[in-house]
Amino acid sequence: MSSQLDALRNHTTVVADTGDFEAMKALRPTDATTNPSLILKAVQQEAYRPLLEKTARDHRGAPTPELMDRLLVAFGRAILNIVPGRVSTEVDARLSFDTRATIERARGLIALYEAAGVPRERVLIKIASTWEGIQAARALQAEGVRCNLTLLFSLPQAVACADANVQLISPFVGRIYDWHKKAAGAAWVEADHAGARDPGVQSVTRIYQYYKRFGIATEIMGASFRNVGQILALSGCDLLTISPELLTQLANTEGDAPAQLRADAVTGDIARIASGEVAFRTQLNDDAMASDKLSEGIRAFVADAIKLDALIEAQRG
């Protein structure tokens, strides 16, 4: 019998959520995603320190933001030598509420990739799913820069991304689960919120059903998993980005991973969600979980970007 990972590949494109090259080589994902936290974790390991050292040495006079982007692209290029598909590279989270600056930073990242001979079709620019970030993605997509909208926790965010014609969205499963578990406190019963009953799984399922019902081409990539049960419950989703630890667990477990999400199985009445800035901000504000997790996620990525700045500056001396 094949492994659950091999079975999952029959229904879903498997993506590695890591900056660890060796893990990618072993687990053979199609695509890979990175973020500031993953890159920060990687450059503190001896195996990946040379990438930081070389970037700082080769571009010693460059400002820190440029060095950070060059480091991200260095990781991305190395990843693309391993995976056959695409790599996601994230715009500095400190720009999450600045549309123009996000556009300029994304253009800079794409320019660095193209200067190194990497076609833009193999790169997804990751941007936080704020209103400003989504509008930046709208402009970038019109220029042929493909975007991955991250830190997405609600259907209104997903609808705004679809309206902007973004290439891909990354709804976060585990962080939604975390919020609801913390909010429930002692009343939380794990067995009652497993599999298809997991609130994070339910959120991605609603987005999937909405997109397929209305023929939306934007790809859906479930992200931020806490356990294998969440992954198996979303088998059939367009893509799933998974940590090396959970990929290894799936690879080492024999069994099936039947499709739980199927476009041809979406039935029933699904109402269209209002789009536009006022509707977006109102609906996001009404969703305490989505508002909390979006803000928290941006703060966490900013904190790690600042730490990465410090490592770059220390290396430059």
pTM of the model: 0.96
CA distances (Å), origin 269, targets 156, 163, 209:
17, 20, 10
Give the integer Cα–Cα distance in Å for 218 and 91: 20
Give the integer Cα–Cα distance in Å for 267 and 163: 22
- Residue 24's SS3 state is helix
- Strands 123-128, 147-152: pairing is parallel
Band (1; pLDDT cuts 50, 70, 90): confident
Residue of 126, 181, 293, 307 marked catalytic = 126
Give the integer Cα–Cα distance in Å for 317 and 48: 19
Burial of 248 by CB count in 10 Å (0-12 exposed, 13-18 middle, 19+ buried)? middle
- Active site includes 126? yes
pLDDT tens for 193-225 read 999 999 999 999 999 999 999 999 999 999 999
Give the integer Cα–Cα distance in Å for 112 and 89: 12
Angle separating helix axes 49-58 and 288-316, nearest 10 degrees: 60
pLDDT at 317: 67
For residue 87, list its beta bridge partners.
Answer: 32, 123
b vs e for 42-79, b when ≥16 Cβ sit within 10 Å of the residue's Cβ? bbeeeebeebbeebbeeeeebeebebbbbbbbbbbbeb
Which domains does the chain show, CATH number per domain? 4-316 (3.20.20.70)
Asked if 242 and 189 touch (Cβ cutoff 8 Å), the reply is no
Angle separating helix axes 99-115 and 64-80, nearest 10 degrees: 50
pLDDT tens for 212-258 read 999 999 999 999 999 999 999 999 999 999 999 999 999 999 999 99
